[in-house]
Amino acid sequence: MLRSVKALVLFSLLLCLPVVAQASRDHAHNDAELTLVNEAGLPAEARETLHLVKQHGPFPFPRDGVVFSNFEHRLPQQPRSYYHEYTVKTPGAHNRGARRIVCGPLPECYYTGDHYRTFQRIKG
């Protein structure tokens, strides 16, 4: 009985390995894995948000400046409260939309246009 339980546990672990490996490949753990974008290459609304971040506000959305927890592990790992997120207005959206600027200590900022699935490091 014990032998079959051990075999079942080992088999279950082996089944999970491809999923874990894929998840690891999907996470960007350092800046080398992020694409770069010049500030001029950002949408106009993102440039406006970045300008407000550099001025420390005022921000148009109540959640602007909240801690970004990096649960997706798309940005380099840092201690909690290292990153903060800011809404980038989306023309025609009736809510906050999917676009954000996420910053560590300035000038370290990132742009996502797809609600944290991908990020670009903003050169600045």
61/65 Cα distance (integer angstroms): 9
Which member of 29, 51, 73, 115 is catalytic?
115
Among residues 48, 56, 85, 108, which one is catalytic? 85
Q: Going along the chain, which residue ranges are E strands?
A: 35-38, 66-68, 83-87, 100-103, 109-112, 120-123
Can 115 be counted among the known catalytic residues? yes
d(CA 60, CA 48): 11
Instruction: Specify whether 85 is catalytic.
Output: yes
What residues are labeled active site? Answer: 85, 115
